[in-house]
Amino acid sequence: MMCNGKFSAVGILFALLVSLTLVACDQPEAINAEPLNADRIFHNANILTMSFKNGHDEMSIAHAVAVKDGRIIALSDDISEYPDNWVGQNTQISDLNGLTLMPGFVQSHAHFNLIVLKKMTVNLAPPPDGGVANLTTLKDALSTAAKKIPAGYPIMGIGYDDTVMEEKRHPTRDDLDAVSTEHPIIIMHISFHLAVMNSKALEMAGIDAETPDPEGGHIQREPNSNRPNGVLEETAMNVIGKMLPQPSPQQIFKTYDVVVQDLLALGYTTIVEHASDIAMEKGFEAYFASRDVPVDMIAYRRVLPDTDPLASQMANMTREDINGFKLGGIKILLDGSIQGYTGHLNQPYHVPPAGKDDSYRGYPHLPPEKLNNLLMQAYADDIPLLVHTNGDAAIDVLLDGLEKANTAYPDNSLRPVSIHAQTMRQDQLDRAKGLSLIPSFFVDHVYFWGDRHRDIFLGPDRASQISPVGSAEDRQLIYTIHDDAPVVSADPFRTLWVAVARLTSSGEKLGADETITRQQALKALTVNSAYQHYIETHKGSIEVGKKADMIILDDNPLTVAEAELRHIKVLETVKDGETVYTLTR
C-alpha cells in the first residue's frame, strides 16, 4: 500500500535534515555532500513547484527533483544537471527533455460516487458530454436501455438539461411513460438538484396527489391539479436512493477502478466525495483496504438537521487517513442550483420558470436557525465543514451564521468552505475574508451555462459577476475552483482555461473583470485546494518533505496559447513517487 500521507514528526525531522545537508539549488556542483540515494530523479524539466517565494505572486521554478520513500527530498534549479550526491546504486533517472512537471491536482469539490453512478446509467447529457438535444433523443436513449433490462427493473438516466433541449422544458411522467410503463424510470437533471419519474416510479416512491412538499423541496404538479407531473426538486428526491438496486461490492469496486484510472489520466492524485453517508464511507474503506488504490480520497459526510444531533451523527467519524481514505468533515446543503431555478437569490430570477411569477427567487433548503444550530455544533467540536451555497441569499445566511459561530468560538481554527459561491457579491467577498471563509467557485458555469445565465437565469449584470475569482484574487482571498463532476465532466485543464478566458460556449466573453492569470488558476487547483482540505503540509506543491504526487504534461500551461490550455494532456501521473498512469499513444 502506498504511503498514507500522514506527515509524522519523523518525516518533519527527516525533511529538516535533508534541507540542512542538501546543496542549495544554485550550487548543484558542491563536493562531499551527504549521499541521498534517491529512488527517482526527474531532471531536464520545467518544474512548476506551486511554491511561492513571496507568499502570493512569485512561483519557484525548478528543473530537477529527487524522490525517496514517496516524498520529495531535493530540488535543483540547474537546467543541465543535478547533484551527483542524489544518485544511488538503484536510482531511477528520468530525463524529461524539457517537458513540464507540476503537482498532481487536488479536487476541491466533486462527487466520486455520482461519477461512478453515471458510468452505470444512461447518459442523457447534452453535447459536449453527451448527445441528448431534445425529447426524442432522450426517449431513444432510455428505450434502448429498456430493451436490455427485464420488466420491473429500474432504468436510470443522468444529465438531461431542459434549458438546452429543443422543447425548453423538463420531461414529464407522461413523456417517460411513453418509453415504458413496465419499468420504473428515474432521470436526473444535469444539476443533480431535480429528477423526473414515470408513473411506475412515482407509485413505488409513494408520491401522489396527496403527498405534501417536504421542507427544502417541491413536487411539481400538473396545471390546475395536485397530480404530480413527475418532476421532483431538491429534498423531494430523497426517496430515490431507497429505490435503486445495490450492486455487489465486487461490481461496484470494478467501476471504482475504472473511475480512478480516468481521474489519474486527468492528473488528479487526491479525489473527493462531497456528499457521503455512513454506508458509502464503509464501502470506500473496504475498497481502499482491498487493493493498492493509486489515489487518496477525502469524503465529507452530508448531515441532516432533523435527525440526530451533529455529535451523534458524527460519533463514528474518524478523520484519520486509513489506507489513503479519510473522512474530512461535514457537508450542508443550504440551497439548490441556479440552472435548476432552485438556487436562493436575493433578487428575482431574470426570467421566471414556468408557473412562477416575476418575484420568484428560489428557496432555501433549511431555515437560518437550523443552519446556525449545525454551525454552532461544528465549531464546538472543531469539525471542518462545506456549505453548498449557489444563490447570494443563501450566502448571506451562511455569512450571518459564521459570524455568530466565530463570536461564540473566537479561537477556532476552522476553514469553512462556500461550495459553488456562484453569485457571491463584492460585499460578501469582503465578509468572507474576515471570516476565513474559502469560496470554492464552480467556474465551469461560465462556459456551460454562461449564455443562459445572461439571457435567462440572472440577466447581464449578475451573469457577468458569477464565480468572481478576479475579485477574490484582488482581495488576496484564498479560494479554489472546481467542475463539480459529474455535473460536468471532470477536466481540470478545461476548468483552468475557463477561469483564465471566461468564454461561454458561444464564444462570448462573460465578466472580463473576473479573469485570473494561469498561475493563479493553477494555484487554486493545487496548493489552495490542499489548504481547503487541511493537507497543505504534505500536498499541493513540490517542496522538500511533501508527498511526491506529480504529473508530467505535454505542454506548459504558463506558456501555451490560451486556446490550447484546455487541450493539455497528462503524459504521466506519479503518486508517492511511483508511476500510476502513463498516456498510451
State how many domains the chain has: 2
Same domain, 372 and 223: no
Is residue 574 in a domain?
no
Burial class of residue 210, CB neighbours in 10 A (0-12, 13-18, 19+): exposed
Is residue 59 in a domain?
no
Is residue 273 in a domain?
no
Question: Of 243, 268, 295, which marks where a domain is finished?
Answer: 243
pLDDT in tens, 25-82: 433 333 346 889 999 999 999 999 999 977 667 899 999 999 999 999 999 999 888 9
Close Cβ partners of 75 (under 8 Å, ≥ 6 residues apart) = 25, 47, 49, 62, 64, 65, 66, 542, 543, 544
| Domain with 196 in it | 121-243
Same domain, 207 and 354: no
Q: What is the length of the chain?
A: 585
Is residue 361 in a domain?
yes
Close Cβ partners of 16 (under 8 Å, ≥ 6 residues apart) = none
Same domain, 204 and 353: no
Residue 103 is placed in which grid cell? 503537482
Is residue 60 in a domain?
no
Question: Of 498, 516, 534, which marks where a domain is finished?
Answer: 516
pLDDT over 80 at 236, yes or no? yes
The CATH number that applies at residue 495 is 3.20.20.140
Task: Share the mean pLDDT of the chain.
Answer: 92
The CATH number that applies at residue 233 is 3.10.310.70
Give the pLDDT score at 26: 38
Is residue 75 in a domain?
no
pTM of the predicted model, to two decimals?
A: 0.90
Question: Of 213, 243, 273, which marks where a domain is finished?
Answer: 243
**Euclidean distance between CA atoms 313 and 331, whole angstroms:** 12
Same domain, 385 and 502: yes
For 440-459, what is the mean pLDDT?
98
Give the pLDDT score at 531: 98
Is residue 551 in a domain?
no
Give the pLDDT score at 80: 80
**Beta-bridge partner residues of 326:** 298
Give the pLDDT score at 313: 66
Give the pLDDT score at 308: 63
Is residue 300 in a domain?
no
